[in-house]
Structure 1
Amino acid sequence: MSEFDYSLLSKMLHSIALGNRSVLEFSFDMETALQKNKPVAIGSPVFVSGLARSGTTIIMRTLYETGAFRCITYRDMPFVLMPGIWKKFRGKTITKPEEKERAHADGIMVNFDSPEAFEEIFWRCFCADDYIKTSSVIPHKLSNEVIQKFQLFMQHTVASAENSTGGIRYLSKNNNNILRFPQLMQQLPQAVFIIPFRHPLQHAYSLMKQHKHFSGMQKNNPFVLKYMNWLGHFEFGLGHKPFIWKQEDEAILQQFSINEINYWLQCWKNYYEKILAFNEANCICICYEDLGTKGADIFSNLLKRLQIQNTRAIPPFKVPAFQQIENFDHSLLKACMFVYEALRVKSNADIERK
């Protein structure tokens, strides 16, 4: 099993469930009606969000494996907005799902019980017109109605946890949440936001590599492009849409070819300059490179900060060796490194904060 190993019938089901906003809204309303008289406390939710290829999956999975969280998994697809109802319909037809390498070809194995970044389906359903544009994604303000619906979505997700005995917390991995961070941080003061970052040149190289990889895959298999668009995954591939905060950001990006390193360096700069502006106490930055040298210590401190009692040993993290990269704009990299070093200072302070 991988994200795209689907039969024709499965593809049709995904198209119906994810490709039609009316169906998405109806499924959410059905779940809300089912759970109406079953209020569930979500405790202190945790949101993992960073530019793609920054270590969000590593962090999300390590937290998920503590058993303290409920996160949307592949088993919840494609009806992620009605997890309780879909759970009753699908049953437990696959008890020991086989693991296969995910489509990124990066060594990360997935099966039906693997947690993944499916939360954006909610935001696309209720807010798509506000932030998904023809060639970019932009910040958007959330109405009180949407915020209330999102709180219900978190409750629905937690309520559908397997073998839940209470106290389970909501866990999200969603790189698009930067587009709505200010309001989420304000409206969910009990939540914790974890933001990994990575050396800009290495990060840009990884993004460019994945862009070429997925573009080739999507040319050969159009379903892959549809699937990623349904999930709101615009980070790379033929459906790529960069994060844009102001018009000049888009104008600067247009100076570069999407297949060259400088384009992705500029994407990095735009994203993480914005992250530097978030100084809230519930915002924690984590350096990707540090996970390879002191990952156990970082997670030990992080779990204490999250008030999680963990009895499992934290495995070592293997950070890829630095790639030798040429033909980049040195002045652009210098500007990125200024942001990177500032984030490292912030990261050390965030982890040590009680």
Structure 2
Amino acid sequence: MDDEFLNRTKDTTFSPVFILGLHRSGTTILYRMLNETRNFDVLTLYHVLNFDRLLYDSVNNVVDGEKRKINQELHEKGITNRKTDDVAVTSEYEHEYVYVFSERDYPRKLTEDNKELFELLCKKIKYLSGDGKPLLLKNPYDYGNFLFIKKMYPHAKFVFIQRNPLDVISSTMKLWKTRLKVRDEFVCLYSKESVAMYRNPLLLLCYRLFFTLRFPIGVFEVFWRVKTGADYYLKNIHDLPRTDYISIRYEDLCEKPNQVITHVLQFLGMKSEKKFNGYIKPRKLKLEPEVSFLNKFIYKRMKAYFDTFGYKP
């Protein structure tokens, strides 16, 4: 629906700021907190679901109506938050650009193949916003891809968020167990792969065997992905100019949110009066049994990352 309006974005520019971290490292809550400072434009659920008609919606003044439709669908399906962590969701939910890629069968991380699609997405968001704010984006799949991104977008800035690998792996396993127990209607709104999984009993059984047995072998795949991302970060982070990135810890964000958010904003030359006291509710974390069992195995193979960020096994 947008084809006839694409020329409207030809002179639109964007200044990207990437939030990058491992899956389940806290990128979602950081994205939401930074968005609430009102310093950025962000990618929302509305942008993801209506990507092919964003310009049409704007030109025809139906943006608000389309957002109401999404909120109505969420209401009808009983969706108020993400099952995996209780993060509230509406049409304004801060989303990941990976789903613009994957729904069109492109790689999940930024590549030469999907670069044009990514830039079109960014231009559409900026065209709709009509302001000069930086564009804040996140995609955990790009945590191990920041040198390519920097090469493509030399002026890009990066906000890295780190988290204890044991908690990352445990949280990922818990996510899969929750998602495989019963159909996740929210994920099915924007992920055709999830819809296909739930519709195929054999495929669903394979996922359940992989991730939900008493000792699921899927934990090793999750560990490998976490280790691969962490190794890439440690090996390549020094190739990024120190003025182009900041790295924070999820644990510090939870303990002293105002200080950490202020630190991030200062790095980006911004400020905000927004306070986040009590924003993140303390949760007693208990490692999934398989992660607890592999504690020493994981620590031994990721000791450099543990030591770099002050984590203990």
Shift of 1:111: 1.2
2:191 corresponds to: 228
- Partner of 2:182, secondary structure, is helix
2:211 corresponds to: none
Superposed, which structure 2 residues align to 1:292-307 within 5 Å?
292-307=254-269
Write the deviation string for residues 61-87 of structure 1: whole angstroms up to 9, x where unpaired. Answer: 111112222222223342224422234
Counterpart of 2:167 in structure 1: which amino acid?
Q
Shift of 1:337: 3.9
Identical residues among aligned pairs (%): 20
Residues 31 and 321 of structure 1, relative CA distance in 2, 3 Å threshold: farther
Write the deviation string for residues 171-204 of structure 1: whole angstroms up to 9, x where unpaired. Answer: 1121122364322111212211222121111221
Which of 82, 101, 111 is equivalent to 2:90?
111
Consecutive unaligned residues in structure 1, runs of 5 or more: 1-26, 133-138, 242-256, 346-354
Residues 215 and 68 of structure 1, relative CA distance in 2, 3 Å threshold: same
1:102 partnered with 2:81: yes
Which of 232, 236, 239 is equivalent to 1:274?
232
Consecutive unaligned residues in structure 2, runs of 5 or more: 198-202, 208-214
Which of 22, 27, 34 is equivalent to 1:63?
34
| Higher RCO, Cα 8 Å, sep 6+ | 2
Q: 1 CA distance for matches of 2:24 and 2:5?
A: 33
Q: 2 CA distance for matches of 1:96 and 1:116?
A: 14
Q: 2 CA distance for matches of 1:151 and 1:344?
A: 37
2:56 corresponds to: 85
* Aligned partners of 2:19 and 2:137 also within 8 Å: yes
Name the Cα RMSD after superposition: 3.7
State the TM-score, normalized to the length of structure 1.
0.67
Q: 2 CA distance for matches of 1:226 and 1:105?
A: 15
2:304 corresponds to: 338
Give the helix-richer structure, 1 or 2.
2
Shift of 1:334: 2.5
Write the deviation string for residues 199-218 of structure 1: whole angstroms up to 9, x where unpaired. Answer: 11122111101111112234
1:35 corresponds to: 9
1:199 partnered with 2:179: no
* Aligned partners of 1:54 and 1:198 also within 8 Å: yes
Q: 1 CA distance for matches of 2:191 and 2:248?
A: 26
Shift of 1:318: 3.2
Residues 216 and 304 of structure 1, relative CA distance in 2, 3 Å threshold: same
Q: Which moved more, 1:301-310 or 1:176-185?
A: 176-185
Residues 120 and 68 of structure 1, relative CA distance in 2, 3 Å threshold: same
- Partner of 1:48, secondary structure, is strand
2:138 corresponds to: 173
* Aligned partners of 1:266 and 1:332 also within 8 Å: no
State the TM-score, normalized to the length of structure 2.
0.75
Which of 158, 163, 177 is equivalent to 2:126?
158
Q: 2 CA distance for matches of 1:196 and 1:147?
A: 24
Which of 308, 318, 322 is equivalent to 2:285?
322
Residues 293 and 178 of structure 1, relative CA distance in 2, 3 Å threshold: closer
Runs of 4+ in 1 over 6 A off after TM superposition: none
